[in-house]
Structures are given as C-alpha cells and as structure tokens.
Amino acid sequence: MPVIKSMEELEKIRKQAKDMINLRVDNETKTRIVVGMGTCGIAAGARPVMLAILDELKKRNITNVIVTETGCIGLCQYEPLVDVIQPDHPKVTYVNMNPEKAREIVVKHIINNQVVDEYVVPNI
Amino acid sequence: MEIYRAHVLVCKGTGCVASGSEPIMEAFQKELEKKGLSKEVKVVQTGCLGLCELGPNVLIYPEGSYYCTVKTEDVPEIVEEHLLKGRIVERLLYKERDTKERFRSLMDIDFYKRQKRIALRHCGLINPEIIEEYIANDGYRALGKALTEMTPQGVIDEIKKSGLRGRGGGGFPTGVKWQFAADAQGDIKYVVCNADEGDPGAFMDRSILEGDPHTVLEAMAIAGYAIGASEGYIYVRAEYPIAVKRLEIAIEQARNHGLLGKNILGTEFSFDIFIRLGSGAFVCGEETALLASVEGRRGEPRPRPPFPANKGLWDKPTIINNVETYANIPEIILQGADWFSNIGSEKSKGTKVFAVGGKINHTGLVEIPMGTTLKEVIYDIGGGIPNNKKFKAVQTGGPSGGCLPASLLDMPIEYDTLIQAGSMMGSGGMIVVDEDTCMVDIAKFFLTFTQEESCGKCPPCRIGTKRMLEILERITNGEGREGDIELLENLAKSIKASALCGLGQTAPNPVLSTLRYFRDEYEAHIKDKKCPAGGCQALIHYEVVADKCKGCGMCVKVCPTQAISGERRKPHEIDLDKCIKCNSCYDRCPFGAIVKL
C-alpha cells in the first residue's frame, strides 16, 4: 500500500480493504451459495464445484456473496447440490452440478439474477 | 486480492495467549494446509473479545460461530466438520450458564447482547497488525474529516459538546482539557497518552492497545491538530509486551502510509508519535509523575497548578488522556457529538469499559452505556455469583475506589453517583466479592497495594497510609483496640486533605467506604475478636459438628498436617494446635460437618 496523500486515496483504499473483511459483518442480508458437502456430495465431486464457484467469484471480484457448505440433505443421487439463497427470494436448489455448470450459475443467477431452470431440482 | 469463503478469528489478546491461543492458530494453519483449504479459509489473529475466562476464543465467519475453551485437539474436528462439511461443532459452542442453551452466533449471547461497544468497537473483529483492516472499518476517516472539514477549534467544540469525560480516573471533561492546552501560549505543544494502566484487575487499556492500536494513534493525531501539537508520546507499561509490539507495528505502518509524519493526507498538518516504556510504578499513572518519567526523571508527582495543559512535558503545554478516552474520539468526530451525547445518562455520556473480576461467573471485559445499573452488569452480563453464594459487595475504581454493598445494586453507574456513594469510576476495575470475603481484609488488601506503591515524596501518603495499614493489620490479627475505627477515620480524613497527588488523596477510600457500609464487621473484629465472614485466619478456628459427621475420613485424607483424627464411622476431631487453617477439610467435607467459627 502506498503513501496516502488525500482523502480520496484513503477512501479508495477503504473500499478495497472493505472487501477483505466484509465477511465479518452483516451476513443476514447477503446472498448465500450453499454447497452440499456430506460424504455423498464430496464423493460426487462437490469440492471441485465449490472451488469453481470461489474462482468464478474471485475472477469477477464479487465479495458480497457468502459461500458456505452444508451436510447431506437426503437427495444423494442428485449430488453435488448447490443452493442459492437470496434475501426475500425463495431458495433455489441446483442438482447434478459440475464445475462448468457452477460457473454458469454464478454468471446467470448471481450476476444477472436469472434462475437457470434447466439445472434446478426436478419434481420427484 | 484473494477472496476467502471463511475467516477463522483467533483471539491473540494477552488472556487468550496465556490460555494457549498461539498453538491453536498454528494448528488451524497446519490443518487447513493439510486439507487443502488454505486458499479458501483465512486465519486471522485479533485482539480481546472480552470473555477471557472462556479462552482461547475462536470465532468463525460467515456464520459468526463462537467457539470457546478450544484445545489444539479440537482443531482437526472444527476444520473437518465446520470448514469442510459445513456442520457447526455444537459441543464447542458457547453455552449460557443457566439454560445451557447453545448459540450459533456471538452477538446472540447475553454477555454481548447487552453491551454497547464504542471504545472496544474493533477489538476481536480486526487484525490489529494489518492497517488495511482498520481502514476498512472507517479507520483514519475521522482524522481526514478533522483535517479537511473542521477547524482545530471546531474539533474541540465537538468534543466539548459530546460531553466526553476522562476514562482514566478523575473524569475531567476532555474537551475542556483540550481547550486549556489550545489556549495556552507556546510554540511547541505535546499530546500524551496515558497507557500506564495500574489498577489491579483492570485491563481495558491493554486490550484496546492490543486489539485496535490504530484508533489510539488516530485520536492522538486528531488531538494534536486540535491543540496545535506536532508530537505525541505514548507512555505504556513494559509489562504489556504484546501491546507494545502491536503499537510499534501500528506506528510503523501509519508512518509508511503517510498517516503519521509530515503533511498528513496532503494537508499542512504534521504529527508523529513515540513510545516511552514505564517500569510499572503505580504512581506513574498520575499525570505529573508520568510526565516526569517520560522526560527521564524519577516518576514522582509535583503539586498542581500549574496544570500540564499550561506547563507539561518539558514545561510545554500538554494534554494527557487515557487510552480508553482516546478510543472514543474517532467515533465522536465521525458520528457527531449529538450521537455520542445521546448515549448514556444525563451527566455521564457515552459508554464505559469495565474489567469485571472476582467472585463472578463471567470474568472479562464489558462495555456498557453509562447509567446501566450495577445489578445489570453483575447479574445480566456477568452471570451472577458462582457456587450459589450471596453477593456481598462490589469494589469499583481500583485501589482509589470503594466498596459498594448489595443495597446499592440498583444504582446507575455514573461518575457522580459513584462518588456520592464513596467510590469512583476510576479506570473501570470492578471486583465482586461474595459472603465469604471479609471486608476489613479487602480494605487491607487495597491499602497494602497503595502503601507499597506510594512514591514517598509527601509524608501524608508515605507515613499516613503506613499507620493506617498497621491498624488494619492489628484488627485482622485480633488485636484491634477500642478507638481504632475513629483513629482510622481521622487519619483517612487528614491524608485525603493533605496528600500531594491523586494516589494519596484516594488511598483511604477503600477503608472509608468499608467503614461506611460494613462498620459492624470492623466492630466484630475489634470487640468480639470474630471475623463474621470467616476470612481472617487469626480470628477463626475449625470445628467438627458431631451430629453431621459420618466419620467418612475424607477430611483426614486431605489434612496436610494430620490434625484430624477419629475412628471410622464415628465423629472426628480437629487438633487445633496442629491445624494450620488451610481450609482443605472445610472444602472437602461432603456433609458440611466442618464449620468455621
């Protein structure tokens, strides 16, 4: 970090630094991406899916989204499962994820706010 | 910039370091490395979270899960379950003492819910060794606002309007102090930070320095701008190695980024800060003694006036404020005087940090709005008295303060109410004692401390406190005489009136306040040669109640001097000549058959 010579520069650094720590505040109002990480999820490849999501978010510099994991929710044959939970929206569950589909969801659902219907959980 | 999906915050305040947080942090790093998670999960060291009793404390975000008393063996489980699989490790979560309810988020628990954290706002939430984390939380914005939008007088007016009073002891209005120094004639002026925290049990200043050092630097720079100073000194105890180290790092970072030094934020204002280490003399917390020590002279007070605001460091106009006072300044500048003066009570504004200790369930650091009652702090936040014992008194203000009895529990905590009740705010130590504590003994404890720490410059303090202590010693040894109480009162009054500095003037307070509220205990010691609380060894002996004794032999086993004898299943006896009054049998007896008389 260079010498800060004005209020504007301080403000710029503050905004950048905020991304670094905003995980620690006000998490109720943020979008959450939840990856199923039970034994079934991990076996079906949930780790690469999660890493792909993290990578995609990083590439696009999106810091106001929480990525977290959860245990098995019972739909083992559809793993890896990914939930996208936005405040004031119903939870969307995506099934049979792989890294490519996961990246698509980040772009379409998180950034453009469009649910990717072809990947959501089927009526069973 | 790296993006992490989770942050593991490990408390590295002195309390948690002492209970072993350093190996825990290493274990997290190692375990995350092993599981290949180190690119996704960040391990962060922070300052004190407040609940030191339950250390080492670990906080995991985004969930805000609060794990306490974590051991290195627990780390693999937390990493595997919580950080890899997303399952919170319930058994390590904080649990409420009464309901045994466990909480998934820190701010839901009683201990934090009732607090209002201003001075401690960043403690436990940011890494004190990384300036960016401070800047991210509005750090140095107050300094910028003061330098670019406010005049020096404007800053002083804002502080005056806020009603902020000194948090280190006396409670003098901070803005007025600044005004004196600003009005004083002189080309060179100084800003000094009093970080010589000496009250037994008080550790809020240390925690602020350890957890949020930049806030003190920023506030000192603001003060420098307000009074026209370009140099500041922090006088900190050498016994606070972690605080000193973090201060050094913070000063270095601030200099590197142009937040200290020449032409701060591109303005005309220049300011730099230097550290001076104190060697632990209690009297050096007194401002004139502190200044003498900073100058390299012997730490002894001098008569005031002249006050430091006119003639301070190297005889130049100087302001001295305590760490906690400074920690409030940036928030007042940013949020405004009105915001601050809306918090607290009519005459005491804002919040105060208390170090709560003694016979209480949650020992630790709490910050509460002024006007909160003692009861709320002790019962609602502190969790009450352990082992179903009865509350007896609370000692506030350290060795200069006094003891307040149960009848004053509903008293709001304010500067003036505490003084009226014979105690004081002091730096915010709060020691709770239960029914087993002898109040004469407590008074003796605090007087022993001040007597030892008296610098010896003025006779009332040097000789007077010594004589008082001798009287207390003979009372607790069962040799008290008629007239001792009156003699104590007389001495106390004279010392208060004639001692040179705050240390001497307040030294009799613990004796006076215990005499005021617990006079009957003194009388019992002197007249009946009895200690009602069973605290004074010389005045008690142990006996076996024959009816209750089942002859189990437990006491025989724990007695270190073989003073107890008796046949099995028959009542035992204590040989008082052999008994050393260690209390072991009393603690051990499962039937309550041993009594202190």
Probe site for chain B from A5, A7, A37, A81 (most B CB atoms < 10 A): A7
pLDDT of residue A1: 65
Percent of chain B beyond pLDDT 70?
A: 98
Q: Are B189 and B220 in contact (CB under 8 A)?
A: no
What residues pair up with B233 in beta bridges, in sequence order? B192, B274
The tokens describing B290, both together, are 């502190």
Kindly determine whether residue B5 and residue A51, on different chains, have CB atoms separated by under 8 Å.
Answer: no
**Domain A26-119 class?**
alpha beta
Enumerate the CATH 3.40.30.10 domain ranges in chain B, comma separated. Answer: 6-113
Whether the per-residue pLDDT at B104 is higher than 70: the answer is no
pLDDT digits (tens, 9 = 90+) for B400-429: 899 999 999 999 999 999 999 999 988 889
Chain A residues with beta carbon closer than 8 angstroms to that of B133: 17, 20-21
Task: Kindly determine whether residue A37 and residue B86, on different chains, have CB atoms separated by under 8 Å.
Answer: yes
| Strand ranges for B114-248 from DSSP E | 190-195, 231-237
Query: B102: which strand partners?
Result: B95
Residues on chain B touching A46 (C-beta within 8 angstroms): none
Q: Which chain B residues touch A37 with a CB distance below 8 Å?
A: 84-86
Q: How many CB atoms lie within 10 A of CB A121?
A: 14
For the stretch B20-59, pLDDT in tens is: 999 999 999 999 999 888 888 999 999 988 888 888 999 9
> Which class is B541-596 in CATH?
alpha beta
Question: Is B131-340 a domain of CATH 3.40.50.11540?
Answer: yes
* B93 strand-pairing partners: B67
Helix (H, G, I), strand (E, B), or coil: what is residue B125?
coil
What angle is formed at CA A17 by the lines to CA A13 and CA A21, rounded to 5 degrees? 165
At the top level of CATH, the class of B439-527 is: mainly alpha
Which value, in Å, is the radius of gyration of the alpha carbons in chain A?
17
Q: Is B569 left (phi over 0), alpha (psi -120 to 50) or beta?
A: left
| Interface contacts (A, B; CB < 8 Å) | 104
Q: What is the pLDDT of residue A30?
A: 85
Residues in A touching B148 (Cβ below 8 Å):
7
Chain B residue numbers touching A3 (CB-CB < 8 A): 256-258
d(CA A91, nearest CA chain B) in Å: 18
CB-CB contact of B50 with B365 (8 Å): yes
- With an 8 Å Cβ cutoff, are B257 and A6 in contact? no
Residue B84 touches partner A, C-beta closer than 8 Å: yes
Which residues from chain A sit within 8 angstroms of residue B85, using beta carbons? 37-38, 42, 69-71
Determine, for residues B85 and A63 on separate chains, whether the beta-carbon distance falls below 8 Å: no
User: Tokens 């936040």 belong to which residue?
Assistant: B381
Burial label for B537, CB within 10 Å (0-12, 13-18, 19+), is middle
Taking the C-alpha atoms of residue B512 and residue B424, their distance in angstroms, rounded to an integer, is 13
The whole-number average pLDDT for the span B291-304 is: 94
B560 and chain A in contact, CB less than 8 A: no
**CA distances for B564 relative to A20, B114, B585, B588, angstroms:** 65, 49, 9, 13
Task: Give B15-47 as a DSSP string.
Answer: HHHHTTHHHHHHHHHHHHHHTT-TTTEEEEEE-
Cα B546 to Cα B530: distance, rounded to the nearest angstrom: 22
* Pairwise CB contact (< 8 Å): A14 & B135: yes
Residues B597/B541, Cβ–Cβ less than 8 Å: yes
Q: Which chain B positions have a beta carbon within 8 Å of A82's beta carbon? A: none
In this predicted complex, what is the ipTM? 0.82
Tell whether B88 lies on the interface with A, counting CB pairs under 8 A: no
Q: What is the pLDDT confidence band of residue B183, given thresholds at 50, 70 and 90? A: very high
CATH of domain B6-113: 3.40.30.10
The percentage of residues in chain B with a pLDDT greater than 90, rounded to a whole number, is 75
Q: What does the alpha-carbon distance between residue B563 and residue B548 come to, in Å, rounded to a whole number?
A: 19
> If pLDDT is split at 50, 70 and 90, which confidence band does B449 have?
very high
Partners of A38 on chain B (C-beta within 8 Å) are 85
Inter-chain touch B258–A5, beta carbons under 8 Å: yes
B457 half-sphere exposure, CB direction, 13 A CA radius? 18
Domain B351-434 architecture? Roll (3.10)
The CA distance from A4 to the nearest CA of chain B, in Å, is 6
Q: Is the pLDDT confidence value at B235 over 70?
A: yes
Residue B426 to residue B423: CA distance in whole angstroms = 9
Tokens coding B86: 């997303």
Q: Tell me: pLDDT of B199 over 90.
A: no
**Longest CA span, chain B:** 88
Work out the minimum CA distance from B23 to partner chain A, whole angstroms. Answer: 23
Separation of alpha carbons B24 and A61, rounded Å: 31
B54-102 residue pLDDT tens = 889 999 988 888 999 999 999 999 999 999 888 889 899 988 776 767 7
Contacts of A22 in chain B (CB under 8 A): 136
Name the H helices within B477-533: 484-498, 502-506, 509-517, 519-527
Contact (CB<8Å) B62/A38? no
Nearest Cα of chain A lies from the Cα of B337 at a distance, in angstroms, of 22
| Residue bearing tokens 């375990």 | B31
Nearest to B432 by CA among B390, B400, B472: B390
Q: Do B266 and A16 touch (CB under 8 A)?
A: no
Does B103 or B523 have the greater pLDDT score? B523
- In chain B, ranges of CATH 3.40.50.11540 domains: 131-340
Token pair for residue B305? Answer: 């006036």
Domain with CATH 3.30.70.20 in chain B: 541-596
Where do the structural domains in chain A lie, given as residue ranges?
26-119
Digit-coded pLDDT (tens) for A41-72: 889 999 999 999 999 998 998 888 889 888 88
Partner residue opposite B61 with nearest CB, options A4, A14, A23:
A23
Q: What is the pLDDT of residues B546-555, one digit of tens each?
A: 899 998 989 9
| Residue labelled with tokens 């406190």 | B465
